[in-house]
Amino acid sequence: MKGTLNFKRMLSLTRHLQKYKIHCLSYSQLNHRWLQQIHKVGHGRQLSSCADTMVSNVYTPRRAVLYVPGSDDRKLQKITGLDVDCAVMDCEDGVAINRKEEARHTIRKMLDELDFGRTECVVRVNSVDSGLMEEDLKVIFRADRMPQAIMLPKVNSPQEIYQFTENLKESLKGRIQKQKLQLITFVESAIGLINLTEIFRNTTELSNSEGLFDLAGVVFGSDDFCADIGASRTADATELMYARQKIVTCAKAFRLQAIDLVYINYKDLDGLEKQSLDGSNMGFTGKQVIHPGQIPVVQRAFSPSPDRVEWATQLLQAFSHHTQSGKGAFTFHGAMIDMPLVLQARNIVQLAEAIKS
């Protein structure tokens, strides 16, 4: 009965994807592809039920995303010793308006001088409607070494993505890209949240047509969002529950990472840990941090435990054995296993391997 249900689920999925002209496989072929994917741990975005019809990229962990003001040379120099997944050299909120020019040129210099090691090197430019983004891109991309990712804040509509793309294209003119940039957008307003699906859809289309960047994730700018809707921040962030859930849902529908809100009280590590675990349980893949002391707590919270990794590894091995033997559904540690649980296990092992490597 369980195998029949799985077959019906996969048949329904296949028909749904064919409706959108996405290449689909038979149930047995899908099982075979899933087995192939399981042995390619560390590659591809986090999977959901139809992710293996998508193009795979190497998964980049962004458990802790640290902002460093681009105008502060001393703080930028310290990035290399922090062992953080993602370091964001900031042109935007972390920089006073009279120091924007200084920040651009300092970031350009740091791109060429610093050895970021395993840390992803990211630059957050100013928003499209600020009138400052174009100059940010021009200066930053004069560096010999490009950042791995660009963060674009305060995205409210697809039109801003089109403007960003045109400015990026101009800034990259005459330059050979060894690989695509990763683009990470921000949700910071009510209208940005309402338009999120359209923003993702248009950005993905631009990624495919222009070939300049891949959309990699979305960040929740909670303080600007609260100001926009007139909400008061609370310790448990209940006023942001709907927005957080919608952001995660939209992000996962497009196979994107979702980065959770900042915990402002950087000295309260217990509160930070609780909020980080809550975010991880909701489906967020990482969290913004504003102080180096927050990094270990956040990266631990968004990492699978050794027990969880062992469970996932054993489940995948059992799944491989049962599939190769031609059997359908099976029990593992007393529970009936179907494909969604296998995919969840694969995500856990993938993340663990990405962190380890």
If you compute the radius of gyration of the chain from its CA atoms, what whole number of angstroms results? 21
Phi and psi at 289, nearest 5°, equal -130, 150
C-alpha distance across the termini of the chain, in Å: 41
Is 338 noted as a catalytic residue in this protein?
Answer: yes
Question: Contact 162/168 with Cβ under 8 angstroms?
Answer: no
Nearest to 254 by CA among 205, 316, 296: 205
Cβ burial, residue 136 (10 Å; 0-12/13-18/19+): buried
Q: Report the relative pairing of strands 330-332 and 286-289 from DSSP bridges.
A: unpaired
CB < 8 Å & 24+ apart, contacts of 95-98:
95/69, 95/70, 95/71, 96/71
CA atoms within 13 A on the CB side of 331: 3
Cross-strand bridge partners of residue 185:
152, 218
| Catalytic residue positions, numbered | 338
